[in-house]
Structures are given as structure tokens and as C-alpha cells.
Amino acid sequence: SSVMDPEPIVRRNPPGTKAEDFYKWPAQSFDEMDTTLAVQQHIQQTIRQDFTDTETILTVPPGQDEGVWKYEQLRQFCLELNGLAIKLQTECTPLTCSQMTATEQWIFLCAAHKTPQGCPAIDYTRHTLDGAACLLNSNKYFPSRVSIKDSSVAKLGSVCRRVYRIFSHAYYHHRHIFDESENETYLCRRFTTFVIRYNLMSRDNLIVPIMDDASNTSNNNSVDQ
């Protein structure tokens, strides 16, 4: 053909790339992605385009298996929670928070040990994130990135429940860290929307009030059991 073919787009971040240029290539439509990591690529791409657009980020592409979608979304949440964990590391010590609590009623025991342990909040946070990483990457429960067994999908709920406690502890005990992190990432409201939409957690456990989200105003008044 007489028309010159455009240069193929190579989507790489090679050594030497500046931080502002990281991932700055043209978006690829989900249908064109042919790697096994397509769902992760798509989710990350959508977040980069606008991290405040929770709805678009959580919208499953047509034809995409929902189990895999939930799994990859949860992976991304755990990845981004690292940011909150790092901020907490500076301030949340065994002296300030000797146990993992949110509001007064509950003390959460860390499930990462053989018998549940009353870890200090910072240990609970780290262990929960590390434990989630092990479970979500485990060859036994999640051997593939393109298909999830139903029995493994059931595990996602317990990961969500434990991971949510990091949000609630940060909200109630390290409010400024929570606010700073939330403004940068919109992570908690996206997570809340996510677990409600896919029924991964009971609404009673969603104790962090979400601003700007009318459907969650009822949570402000819920009584903690």
C-alpha cells in the first residue's frame, strides 16, 4: 500500500525512562491485549487514566470472566495498599497501637500465624498484606491468571475482610494519614464500592464512612456488632 505503516507501538518502560514518562504510551484496548496479564494491564491502565473514576475502573469489560476480574482487582488493591502501609510504618508503632483495632468494640487477631495472634497494628497490617500476597499468588489456589476455580473465588472474601481492617484502623487512629492516602488514590472508596458490588463483604463490616457516595450513607449510622 502507498500509505506508510505507522511505527508499531512498543509498550515498554526501559531503563532511562523518566518517572513522568512511565507507562505513558497510548492506551491499548482490552480486546487487543493478548497476554495472559491482560486484565491486570487493563485495570492498571484505567487507573492511570483517572484514579478518581471508580465506576470505570470497576466496570468489567464485556465477556470477561467475573472470577478473574475480582481476583485481579483484589491484587491491584493489595498492591496499592502498600502506599498506606508505608505511611503507617512511620507513625503506627507497637507503643501507639499495641493491638489492631478500629472502633472500640473489636480487636482483630492476625490470621497469618498458626494460632491467631493479637499482633500490634503495624504487624497486623504487614502480615495481612504479606499473607494476602502469598494466598493470591499461591500455586495451589490461584495457579492461573486467566481462569479461577470457584473454590478459590470463595477465598477472596476473607482476604477482603482482613485487608479492609487496615483502612478502618488507619481511619480511626491515623486519620491524617488515611486522608492523605485516600486523596492520592481514592483507594478506600473504590475498595468499598468493589466489595459491595461483588458481595465480598457484609455491609455491617464496612465501618469507614465514604464521602461522596450516596449509596453508602447508611453505613454512617450502622451499629457495629
Shortest CB 144 distance to another protein, Å:
11
Query: Looking at beta carbons only, is 91 or 213 nearer to another protein?
Result: 91
Task: Candidates 52, 106, 109, 131: give the one binding another protein (CB under 8 A).
Answer: 131
Task: Candidates 46, 54, 73, 76: give the one binding another protein (CB under 8 A).
Answer: 76
Q: Is residue 127 part of an annotated ligand binding site?
A: no
Say what angle helices 175-185 and 66-91 make with each other, to 10 degrees: 140
Shortest CB 214 distance to another protein, Å:
32
Q: Is residue 134 part of an annotated ligand binding site?
A: no
Buried b (16+ CB within 10 A) or exposed e, 8-30: eeeeeeeeeeeeeeeeeeeeeeb
Q: Is residue 169 part of an annotated ligand binding site?
A: yes
Q: Determine if 11 is a binding residue for another protein (CB under 8 A).
A: yes
Taking CA atoms, 191 is separated from 32, 37, 96, 139, 195, in Å, by 27, 21, 26, 25, 6
Q: Which 3 state secondary structure label does DSSP give 133?
A: helix
Q: What is the DSSP letter of 214?
A: G
End-to-end CA distance of the chain: 70
Task: Candidates 70, 127, 169, 174: give the one binding another protein (CB under 8 A).
Answer: 127
Q: Determine if 110 is a binding residue for another protein (CB under 8 A).
A: yes
Q: Is residue 119 part of an annotated ligand binding site?
A: no
Looking at residues 83 to 102 of the shown chain, list those that interact with another protein (rule: CB under 8 A): 83, 85-86, 89, 93-94
Shortest CB 213 distance to another protein, Å:
26
Give the closest residue to 207 by CA, choosing from 152, 166, 150, 149: 166
Query: Looking at beta carbons only, is 103 or 137 nearer to another protein?
Result: 137
Q: Summarize the annotated binding site as residue ranges.
A: 92, 97, 169, 174
Q: Summarize the annotated binding site for Zn(2+) as residue ranges.
A: 92, 97, 169, 174
Residues lying near another protein in the complex (CB under 8 A) are found at 7, 10-19, 22, 28, 35-37, 40-41, 75-76, 78-79, 82-83, 85-86, 89, 93-94, 110, 112-113, 119-120, 122-123, 126-127, 129-131, 133-134, 136-139
